[in-house]
Amino acid sequence: MKELLNQQFLIPQTSAIAEASAVARRYGDLINLSIGDPDVPTPREIIERAFADALEGHTKYTDPRGYPELREEIRAFYREEYGDSVADEEIFVCAAGVVGMYLVFQVLLDQGDEVIIPDPYFTCYPDQVRAAGGVPVFLPTYEEEGFSIHLERLEGLVTPRTKAILINTPNNPAGTCLSRKNLEELAAFCQRHGLLVVADDIYTNFCYGEPFFPIRALPGMAERTVTVNSFSKNYIMTGFRIGNIVAPTAVIRAIQQLNEYVVFTAPSVSQRGAMWALRSRKELEPPLWELFRGRMQYAAERMNQIPWMSVPAPQGSMYLFPSIKRTGLTSAEVTRRILEEAHVLVLPGNTFGACGEGHLRVACTVENEVMGRAFDRISKMEISFQK
């Protein structure tokens, strides 16, 4: 049977996130700070309106690019929030952001094309690039530089096969945000080198300092940016599996063609939920922003009270990426000890790339009282550290 398989799937690979789910079942008192699926329920208004629409008959195939009403809400969102004029033909509604990213790389990349990925990165990116025949090239970023994109290092990675750079801000796993200045520098760099930007804009509601601004809205970038959005985090709709892509018309046409072989249309009920989420965003987003800002601040304070752990002030997303370099241990070693001794599950930073070594990813997706118990346990651990 093995000879029938594509070679890249012959070696079994299990993601760290999937492994974490399995580990979570081993301990009856385990506190899980590993997964980016918040304990907060989807806002009731979204559920009630989506399923009222389902009862009215919105349970069929939709337009291949998504309900026209939802596409219009996406256009209104970009226009009102960022002053960005997006044409209807530049929008595609997809079944989840991760599916959207897969579709994007499949239509953008020829065999051997290179995509520069800032490291640390969301775990799916390199394999999605490889699955499309591309080559992931990793750009080191560092905590002492705010995990920003260093243009001189970026310049050294560009080759004739470089097609795109992938950015994710607010960032998973680092929880940092690229500044407007850094985005402008990157935009000028990509225009100078004729590169595309693939922007994973999944945590846009969760910027705790400078407000989020999409790189595609900068002058000259709409025609060279492919943006993948998701409703999973901003509106706590992880199980709805709904997202959208904003890109030049030629890219959208190619994505539509490919998607007809994959899923045809995104789920109709989920599309209705997304439509109502955007229509109600002024009421829904602020309390979620306030909730997670509070959680991030609380978690950061508790981490910085632990002698062998340190983390900068929270900038964005739902994650903190504390340094544990003072211990002299690897990320995997500290993660294992935290699990075995404190019964708290976090992810080792090197899961997210070489630059993640010396860090842990902590998801602030449970309430402060639960995180408090986790940090109480961790603070009692006897781990020596280098001063």
Q: Is 47 part of a structural domain of the chain?
A: no
Percentage of the chain beyond pLDDT 90 is 91
288 in the same domain as 277: no
Q: Is 350 part of a structural domain of the chain?
A: yes
Residue 382: predicted pLDDT? 84
Given 233, 260, 281, which residue is the final one in a domain?
Answer: 281
Q: What is the CATH number of the domain that holds 136?
A: 3.40.640.10
pLDDT at 182 > cutoff 70: yes
350 in the same domain as 331: yes
272 in the same domain as 134: yes
CA 346 to each of CA 148, 322, 342: distance values in angstroms, whole numbers, following the listed order: 24, 11, 11
- For 285, the token pair is 């987003």
Given 263, 281, 299, which residue is the final one in a domain?
Answer: 281
pLDDT at 246 > cutoff 80: yes
- For 298, the token pair is 């609380």
Residue-wise DSSP of 368-382: HHHHHHHHHHHHTS-
pLDDT at 343 > cutoff 80: yes
Query: Rounded to whole angstroms, how far apart are CA atoms 214 and 260?
Result: 28
For 297-331, write each residue's pLDDT tens digit: 999 999 999 999 999 999 999 999 999 999 999 99
Confidence of residue 26 (pLDDT cuts 50, 70, 90): confident
Q: Is 384 part of a structural domain of the chain?
A: no
Q: Is 53 part of a structural domain of the chain?
A: no
Q: What is the CATH number of the domain that holds 301?
A: 3.90.1150.10
Q: Is 289 exposed, middle or buried (0-12, 13-18, 19+ CB in 10 A)?
A: middle
Confidence of residue 255 (pLDDT cuts 50, 70, 90): very high
Q: State which residues form the domain around 309.
A: 2-42+283-379
Given 234, 253, 281, which residue is the final one in a domain?
Answer: 281
Q: Is 366 part of a structural domain of the chain?
A: yes
- For 25, the token pair is 């079942």
pLDDT at 27 > cutoff 80: no
253 in the same domain as 153: yes
235 in the same domain as 301: no
For 53-90, write each residue's pLDDT tens digit: 999 999 999 999 999 999 999 999 999 999 999 999 99
In this prediction, residues 46-52 reach a mean pLDDT of 98
Q: What is the mean pLDDT of the chain?
A: 94
291 touches 285 (CB < 8 A): no
Q: Is 48 part of a structural domain of the chain?
A: no
161 in the same domain as 110: yes
Confidence of residue 2 (pLDDT cuts 50, 70, 90): low
Q: Considering its fold, how many domains does the chain have in total?
A: 2
Helices and strands (H and E) in the chain: how many: 12, 12
In this prediction, residues 40-65 reach a mean pLDDT of 98
Phi, psi of 93 (to 5 degrees): -90, 125
Q: Is 274 part of a structural domain of the chain?
A: yes
Query: Rounded to whole angstroms, how far apart are CA atoms 367 and 318?
Result: 12
pLDDT at 179 > cutoff 60: yes
214 in the same domain as 69: yes
In this prediction, residues 283-290 reach a mean pLDDT of 98
- For 359, the token pair is 């860090």
Q: What pTM did the predictor assign?
A: 0.94
Contacts of 333 (CB under 8 A, 6+ apart): none
Preceding amide of 248 cis, omega within 30: no
Q: Which residue has the tokens 């904003």?
A: 246
Q: What is the identity of the amino acid at 153? A: R
108 in the same domain as 27: no
Q: Is 322 exposed, middle or buried (0-12, 13-18, 19+ CB in 10 A)?
A: buried
Phi, psi of 201 (to 5 degrees): -100, 65
Residue 386: predicted pLDDT? 58
157 in the same domain as 206: yes
Q: Is the dihedral of CA 88, 93, 98, 101 positive or negative?
A: negative
151 in the same domain as 253: yes
Q: Is 55 part of a structural domain of the chain?
A: no
332 in the same domain as 267: no
Query: Rounded to whole angstroms, how far apart are CA atoms 350 and 249?
Result: 37
204 in the same domain as 191: yes
Closest CA to 197 of 175, 177, 179, 217: 217
Residue 10: predicted pLDDT? 58
Lowest mean pLDDT among 61-70, 238-247, 331-340, 377-386: 377-386
Residue 383: predicted pLDDT? 77
For 84-126, write each residue's pLDDT tens digit: 999 999 999 999 999 999 999 999 999 999 999 999 999 999 9
Confidence of residue 15 (pLDDT cuts 50, 70, 90): low
Q: What is the 3-state secondary structure (H, E, C) of 148-210?
A: CCCHHHHHCCCCCCEEEEEECCCCCCCCCCCCHHHHHHHHHHHHHHCCEEEEEECCCCCECCC
